[in-house]
Structure formats: C-alpha cells, structure tokens
C-alpha cells in the first residue's frame, strides 16, 4: 500500500430557517407555537437590552460595553438548549445566553460598569463569570466537564467563544483534552466574522472553523448562526449527546457582529458599510418574524406585548442597577482567600482606618 488514504473527513452546514424566513420541512423539528413565540420574545428582549446598554454607555451611565447585536439567534438558541443543571462558560459577548440562564440584568449592567458584583453569579446558576482574556475559559469548561464525568453527573457543559478565540493555544489544549477523555462538553464558536479589526479570513486559513474539530478527533459542524431553529436544534443535540456520554462536539455558528467591537471601537475604520448592510438582510429576528407571519403565529398584538414586556424587564433592570448601594471598599480584601492573610488584614485595616498622623 504505497500511497493510500488514511483519513476522510466531511464538514456539514446546517440551515433550517433561511434568510427569507422559509423553514426546511425535512429538517424542522416540532416546535410548538408557544416555543416559537418564546424564541422570538427572547431574541427581542436580548436586542432591547443590548440597545439599552449601548444607550447607557453613551450617557456615561455604563463603562465599555460589547454589543451582541446580530448574534441573538446563537445566544438564545444555545440558552434554550441548555438545562439548568448544565454548566456554561461564557466569553465577554454573551449577554443573550446570560439572560436565558437567569442572570439578573442588573448584574450585567454592574459588570460593564466596572463593578465586580456583576460577576457574582447567583447560587444555583451553574455559570462562570465572563472570560476577558480571549479563549482562556475553554480549558475551564473542559475541566468542569471532566469533573462531571468523574462524579458521574449526567450533565453537559457549554462553552462559548468567538472566531478570534480559535487562534489561542487555550482553545487547542482544551479541545484536545476533551477529545482524549471524551468529555461531555460542547464548544460553541460564535463566528461573527471579526475579532476587533481582524477579519475571519485573516484569523485562520481553514475554510471553515468547524473543520478544526478534525484535529481533535470529534465532530465539528457548521450552522447558520442567524437561524434560531438550526441553533436550538444543533446545540440541543450536541448537549444531549454529551449528557449521554457521547463526548464532545464543536459547533461553528456563522453569524455577524453588527455593532462595533465595543463602545470603545469604531468599526467603520476597518470594514465596509456594504458588508454590514449585506448582513442586515440576514437578521435572525427579522427572518423569524417573517416565518411567524407566514405561519400565522405573529400578530401585531403579540409584537406589542413582546415589546412592552421586554422594555419593562429592561427598565426594571436599569432601576435595580442604579439603585445598588456603592461597593464597600473593604471588599477588595475579602475574597482573595477564604481567610484573609495577615498582610491583607493589615492593608484592609490601614485603608478603613488609616493610622492617625
């Protein structure tokens, strides 16, 4: 056998709901009308919340903020697919999933206002705080999945990250370990085409990101990330497989960052308005609305109710956020270790009651 093939691999792309709001009947799972309304409402809420955050930032009521506009289907889809007992490890552009997981909106505002209390995930919510150093949370998710496997907990772990994160060594080392130990973890890459100013094609030469899973010996799949049906379904299947002991899956969700990278960024410096415009037509909310119209699930009254409810929730979160008492400076020392070390006790004391001169 002088020259022979020793490996053949294929990468699939899934799209259930296309840009025109048409669903492929051969792939469409049975979603109830109620479920579909929930998809819609959750996406609208995420968008309104996001817009509010941008607004607060402009008014100086919030610090730097990273918008999720355009990525609502990925995030709501993944959020819906997760079960409460699953664990989730977020990147920094993930408020959609955060809110599906039950994180109070106030926490999100606090965090982006530079207040660590925002990272204090409520008890019972199995989520990690946001990872700012890109991709570094991927091994954590792998470790938690490993923990679940060792403890025989029938849960799955989800980790979300961007296209940029796939270039980091942490991605590689985490993916590789997940493969070797066949861990119950789903890697969900939100390929929003940009890592700040670096376009996807400059991030890696691989045709798809999904094919990166081939390097680790487990399945990779590409999904239309603006298709809520495809997102819910693919993520759900992957999580179920993980819970069943079927090992890891890598999902590349093809989507687009409609906004600047963060409020500190100006995307017009590096990308064309045409490109952005092109993606507007692929909007995840719009296409679901068209589908709902076609299938008579959408009504103006429903839209109005969704808008009203969502806005109320958003405004409540703002109120709660702005009603937070200021942080106690002494807290700086309180969570470094379970028991503060002598030097921390001394520094805290000096801060709170400086030695009299």
Partner 1 sequence: MEKLTLVQAINLALSEEMERDPGVVVMGEDVGKDGGVFRATLGLLDRFGGERVIDTPLSETGIIGAAIGMAAYGLTPVAEIQFLGFIYSAMEQIISHAARLRTRTKGRYHCPLVIRTPYGGGIHAPEHHSESSEAYFYHTPGIKVVVPSTPSDARGLLKSAIRDPDPVLFLEPARIYRSIKEEMKGDDPIPLGEARIARSGKDITLIAWGAMVHTALKSAEAVKKEGIEAEVIDLRTLYPMDTGKILSSIEKTGRGIVVHEAPLKGGLGGEIAAIIQEKALLYLEAPVLRVAGFNTPIPLPKMEQVYLPSPEKITAAIYQTLRY
Ligand X SMILES: Cc1ncc(C[n+]2csc(CCOP(=O)(O)OP(=O)(O)O)c2C)c(N)n1
Q: Which of 195, 209, 253, 314 is in the footprint of ligand X by CB under 6 A?
A: 195
Rounded to whole angstroms, the Cα distance separating 214 from 117 reads 40
Q: Given the rule CB under 6 A, which of 17-25, 156-164, 272-280, 285-293 is the region that contacts ligand X?
A: 156-164
Q: Does 95 bind ligand X (CB under 6 A)?
A: no
When asked if residue 194 is in the footprint of ligand X (CB under 6 A), the reply is yes
- Per CB under 8 A, which of residues 254..283 are in contact with partner 1? 264-265, 269-270
Q: Contact region for ligand X (CB under 6 A) — 19-27, 127-135, 227-235, 273-281? A: 127-135
CB of 199 to a copy of itself, least distance (A): 11
Is the distance from CB of 250 to CB of 223 less than 8 angstroms?
no
The footprint of partner 1 on residues 114-133 (CB under 8 A) is: 114-117, 119-121, 123, 128-130, 132-133
Residue 60 binds which entry of Mg ion, a copy of itself, partner 1, none, with Cβ cut-offs from 5 to 8 Å by kind? none
- Angle value at C-alpha 209, between 206 and 210, nearest 5 degrees: 120
Structure tokens belonging to residue 48: 């309104």
Residue 193 near residue 257, CB atoms below 8 Å: yes
To ligand X, the closest distance from the beta carbon of 47 in angstroms equals: 16
Q: If binding is defined by CB under 8 A, does position 195 make contact with partner 1?
A: yes
Number of neighbouring beta carbons within 10 Å of residue 328? 9
Interaction partner, residue 211 (a copy of itself, partner 1, Mg ion, none; CB < 5-8 Å by kind)? a copy of itself
Which of residues 50 and 163 has its CB atom nearest to Mg ion in the complex?
A: 163
> Is the Cβ–Cβ distance between 171 and 200 less than 8 Å?
no
| Site stretch for partner 1 (CB under 8 A), options 29-37, 40-48, 143-151, 292-300 | 143-151
Q: Is 164 exposed, middle or buried (0-12, 13-18, 19+ CB in 10 A)?
A: buried
Q: Which amino acids are annotated catalytic? A: 257, 261, 270
Phi-psi map region of 87: left, alpha, beta (phi>0 left; psi -120 to 50 alpha): beta
Options 101, 137, 257, 282; binder of ligand X; rule CB under 6 A: 257
SS (H, E, C) 47-114: HHHHHHHHHHHHCCCCCCCCCCCCCHHHHHHHHHHCCCCCEEECCCCCHHHHHHCCCCHHHHHHHHCC
Q: Which of 86, 163, 260, 283 binds ligand X (CB under 6 A)?
A: 163
In whole angstroms, how close is the CB of 329 to ligand X at the nearest point?
A: 27
Interface region with ligand X, contact rule CB under 6 A, candidates 109-117, 128-136, 171-179, 311-319: 128-136
The Cα 288–Cα 131 span in angstroms is 30
Residues lying near ligand X in the complex (CB under 6 A) are found at: 93, 132-134, 161-165, 192, 194-196, 257, 261
């Amino acid at each position: 056998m002088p020259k022979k093939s020793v490996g053949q691999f294929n990468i699939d792309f899934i799209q259930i709901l296309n840009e025109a709001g048409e669903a492929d009947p051969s792939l469409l799972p049975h979603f109830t009308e109620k479920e579909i309304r929930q998809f819609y409402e959750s996406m609208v809420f995420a968008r309104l919340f996001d817009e509010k955050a941008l607004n607060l930032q402009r008014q100086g009521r919030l610090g730097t903020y990273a918008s999720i506009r355009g990525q609502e289907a990925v995030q709501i889809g993944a959020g819906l697919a997760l079960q409460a007992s699953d664990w989730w490890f977020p990147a920094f552009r993930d408020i959609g999933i955060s809110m599906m997981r039950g994180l109070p909106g106030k926490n999100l505002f606090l965090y982006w206002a530079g207040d660590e209390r925002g990272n204090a995930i409520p008890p019972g919510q199995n989520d990690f705080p946001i990872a700012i150093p890109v991709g570094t949370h991927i091994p954590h998710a792998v470790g938690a999945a490993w923990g679940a496997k060792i403890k025989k907990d029938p849960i799955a772990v989800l980790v979300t990250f961007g296209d940029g994160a796939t270039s980091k060594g942490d991605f590689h080392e985490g993916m590789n370990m997940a493969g070797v130990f066949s861990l119950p973890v789903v890697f969900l890459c939100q390929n929003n085409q940009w890592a700040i100013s670096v376009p996807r094609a400059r991030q890696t030469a691989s045709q798809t990101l999904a094919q990166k899973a081939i390097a680790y010996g487990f399945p990779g799949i590409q999904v239309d990330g603006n298709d809520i049906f495809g997102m819910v379904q693919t993520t759900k299947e992957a999580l179920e497989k993980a819970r069943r002991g079927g090992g890891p899956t890598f999902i590349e969700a093809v989507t687009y960052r409609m906004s600047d990278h963060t409020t500190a960024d100006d995307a017009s410096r590096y990308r064309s308005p045409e490109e952005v415009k092109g993606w507007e037509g692929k909007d995840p909310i719009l296409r679901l609305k068209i589908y709902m119209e076609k299938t008579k699930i959408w009504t103006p009254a429903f839209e109005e109710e969704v808008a009203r409810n969502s806005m109320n929730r958003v405004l409540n979160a703002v109120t709660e956020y702005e009603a937070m008492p200021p942080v106690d400076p002494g807290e700086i020392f309180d969570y470094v270790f379970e028991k503060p070390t002598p030097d921390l006790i001394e520094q805290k004391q000096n801060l709170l009651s400086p030695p009299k001169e």
